[in-house]
Amino acid sequence: MNDVTRAPGADIVIVGAAGIAKEIAVLIDDVNAASGVARWNLLGYIDADKRHVGLPHGRHRIVGDDGDLLAWPTPVACVFGIGWPARIAAAADGLAAAGHITYPSLVHPTAVVGPLVALGEGTILCAGTIVTTDVRIGSRTLVNLQTAIGHDARIGDDCVLNVGVRVSGNVRVGARCLVGSGAVVLQGLTIGDDAVVAAGAVVTHDVAAGETVAGVPARPLRTRGGNQ
């Protein structure tokens, strides 16, 4: 484990070192700036590949691998900078027994969060998101830039809602779902666990667990042989 800078505020690391992780680092900076105090001391990134430890990534460095985080000598907060739901779930499972790690929710200061909204541990609301009222979002879910979630929606654990998604009222989204940029899910629909909604799709019917849909209106993708 590399030496890291200590500063006022609770120590936090970002698990993952993809591009989205750099954006989450900016979000943490924005939260600190809006608070007027250093609520979070970002130590850097955790990468699964030990060969990357010490390398720069944006304005911060990769400070350890998964094993380093499991052996971290002091309490540390953790969020996930990973853009694929199954990988978020797998990373979380690998850290589940570590009692020294906590998972704060992070809400960008420009996000609009209405009454009766509940966020699970480690969930992130990025800049410009709108969550209206009586919404439940599970743990470790990433709600990316300019996404809107309507009344009474329920979003599962380890989901990724990419830039500009529109989730209408009374929608149910299962665990580990990926909803691509600009997709629209119409009111009252259900998206099953592990489903994928392609970018720009307009979902007008329920999506089965594990299914991938695309298009306007969204339809299940087929293999080259013609089978679903």
**DSSP one-letter string for 35-87:** HTS--EEEEEEE-S-GGGTT-EETTEEEEE-HHHHHT-SS-EEEEE--S-HHH
pLDDT confidence of residue 8: 52
Average pLDDT, the chain: 93
**Tokens 């709600």, residue?**
143
**Tokens 């304005």, residue?**
59
DSSP state for residue 173 in the 8-state scheme: E
Can you tell me the distance from the alpha carbon of 82 to that of 39, in angstroms, rounded to the nearest whole number? Answer: 22
Tokens of 103: 């998972």
Helix (DSSP H) and strand (DSSP E) numbers for the chain: 3, 25
Paired residues of 149 in beta bridges? 131, 167
Instruction: Residues 106-213: name the CATH superfamily.
Output: Hexapeptide repeat proteins (2.160.10.10)
pLDDT confidence of residue 6: 44
Does residue 60 have an active-site annotation?
Answer: no
- Write the CB contacts of 158 (distance below 8 Å, at least 6 apart in sequence): 85, 86, 88, 89, 92, 138, 139, 140, 141, 175, 176
- Residue 99 and residue 2 in contact, taking contact as beta carbons nearer than 8 Å: no
Domain spans of the chain? 10-102, 106-213
| The pairing of beta strand 130-131 with beta strand 148-149 | parallel
pLDDT confidence of residue 208: 98
Per residue in 141-152, pLDDT (tens digit) is: 999 999 999 999
Q: Which of 37, 46, 36 is nearest to 13 (CA)?
A: 46
pLDDT confidence of residue 5: 43
Q: Sort 25 into a burial class: Cβ within 10 Å, 0-12 / 13-18 / 19+.
A: buried
100, 108, 151, 205: which is the annotated catalytic residue? 151
Per residue in 197-208, pLDDT (tens digit) is: 999 999 999 999
Burial 28-58 (b: 16+ CB within 10 A, else e): bebbbeeeeebbbbbbbbbbbeeebbeeebe
In this prediction, the residues of the chain whose per-residue pLDDT falls under 70 are 1-8, 222-228
Q: What is the pTM of this model?
A: 0.92
In the three-class reduction of DSSP (H, G, I as helix; E, B as strand; rest coil), residue 10 is classed as strand
Class of domain 10-102: alpha beta
